Chains A and B, each alone.
Chain A
Amino acid sequence: MATADQIYDKMMQAGEKAFGDGWSAVATYAPAEFRKMAIQIKEIAENVARYKIDRNEGYSPDTGKLLLKMQRNACESVLVATTQLTLIAVQNAMDAMFEVLRKAFKGVFRSIL
Chain B
Amino acid sequence: MMRALLLAGALLLLGGCPAPQLVSPYDEAIDRGIVEFYEQLNLFVKDTADAAGRPEGTYQANSRKYNALETKLDVLILRASSASAGAGCRLEAKVYEKVEKALANEVPADLKPAAQSAAGDASGCNTKLLELVKRQLALIREIHEKTDKCDTPAGPVSCLRRATAASALKIANQSIHAVSVVEAAKRN
Interface residues of A, Cβ cutoff 8 Å to B: 28-29, 32-33, 36, 40, 43-44, 47, 50, 55-60, 62-63, 66-67, 69-71, 73-74, 77-78, 81-83
Contacts and interface: CB of A to CB of B under 8 A. Distances in A.
B20 to A, nearest CB: 26
User: Interface extent on B, as a size class?
Assistant: 20 to 34
A63 B139 CA distance: 10
A66 B143 CA distance: 7
A32 B108 CA distance: 9
Given A28-B114, A66-B147, A78-B110, A43 B132 contact: no
- Give the interface SS of chain A, mostly helix, strand, loop or mixed: helix
Interface of B: 89, 108-110, 112, 114-115, 128, 132, 135-136, 139-140, 142-143, 146-149, 151, 161, 163-164, 167-168, 170-172, 174-175
Contacts of B110: 29, 77-78, 81-82
A60 B115 contact: no
A53 to B, nearest CB: 13
Given A70-B171, A82-B110, 14 more contacts: A43-B170, A56-B151, A62-B147, A67-B167, A70-B136, A70-B140, A71-B171, A73-B132, A73-B135, A74-B136, A78-B109, A81-B89, A81-B128, A82-B115
B135 A78 contact: no
Contacts of A69: 139
B151 A55 contact: yes
A81 B109 CA distance: 8
Contact of A67 (B89, B109, B143, B175): B143
A41 to B, nearest CB: 11
A57 B172 contact: no
B12 to A, nearest CB: 43
A67 B164 CA distance: 8
Contacts of B163: 47, 50, 57-59
B75 to A, nearest CB: 21
Nearest to A40: B171
30 contacts: A29-B109, A29-B115, A33-B109, A40-B167, A47-B163, A56-B151, A57-B163, A58-B161, A58-B163, A59-B148, A59-B164, A60-B147, A62-B146, A63-B143, A63-B147, A63-B148, A63-B161, A67-B139, A67-B143, A67-B164, A67-B168, A70-B140, A73-B135, A77-B110, A77-B132, A78-B108, A78-B109, A81-B110, A82-B109, A82-B110
Contacts of B136: 70, 73-74
| Closest CB pairs A-B (n = 3) | A81-B110, A29-B109, A82-B115
A70 B136 CA distance: 6
